[in-house]
Structure 1
Amino acid sequence: MRNLSSPRARLRAANPMRQHDALPAALRAWAATAALPWSARSLRRLWARAIRDTGCESKALDRLSRAEAATLQREAVRVWGAGYPAASAARAARRSA
């Protein structure tokens, strides 16, 4: 019974589908085609920041797409191995930065 009082159990008290359904329609449509399994919480946080910075829905969606591409490139080595083309591109980008 101790596991019911753990912090992780409290985190899951919310309904993830309800949180997803509460996202703006454009953001839900973007998430439906996303390559990564974004949580509604992280999407809402990134969306709010992108809207605040750009003031434009389409520019905010572009920013989310770039963030996803950067994440995929950064994690390519761990997921697919060092021989994957995106992994070598990520290494080259880090060296030149």
Structure 2
Amino acid sequence: MHQRNISTRLKRRRAGDPMREFDALPPELRRWLAEASLPWSPRSARRIWRQGLKTGGVDEALRRLESAEVATLKRDRLAQL
């Protein structure tokens, strides 16, 4: 089962207007963020998205986001030990 927007002990940064930043994202990225397990900031998600687009398009961007989320979840689990 895929958990959505769970809380985490990892540091979070907030700046600017996250809703305005979210609304400016491409539809595929907004959809991914809505289903993500962690509460990603639009800024960090957009950075990973752009890196993926440069190397392989939308599919690569989505794969990079999934990989980043898995790595972050692993770090969070280790931090809770």
Structure 1 counterpart SS, 2:46? helix
Which structure has more helix as a fraction of its residues? 1
Structure 1 residue aligned with 2:5: none
Question: Structure 1: which 5+ runs fail to align?
Answer: 1-10, 82-97
Q: Which ranges of structure 2 fall in alignment gaps of 5 or more residues?
A: 1-13
1:58-77 alignment runs, 5 A limit? 58-77=59-78
Determine the structure 2 residue equivalent to 1:50: 52
Q: Give the letter aligned to residue 53 of structure 1.
A: T
Counterpart of 2:18?
16
Q: Deviation digits for residues 37-93 of structure 1, max 9, x if unmatched?
A: 110111111111111122x202210111011001111221223x2xxxxxxxxxxxx
Q: Which runs of 4+ in 1 moved over 4 A?
A: none
- Secondary structure of 2:39's match? coil
Secondary structure class of the residue paired with 1:38? coil
| Bigger Rg over Cα | 1
Q: TM-score, normalised by structure 1?
A: 0.63
Give the secondary structure class of the aligned counterpart of 2:40: coil
Alpha-carbon separation, structure 2, partners of 1:42 and 1:63: 12
| Number of aligned positions between the proteins | 68
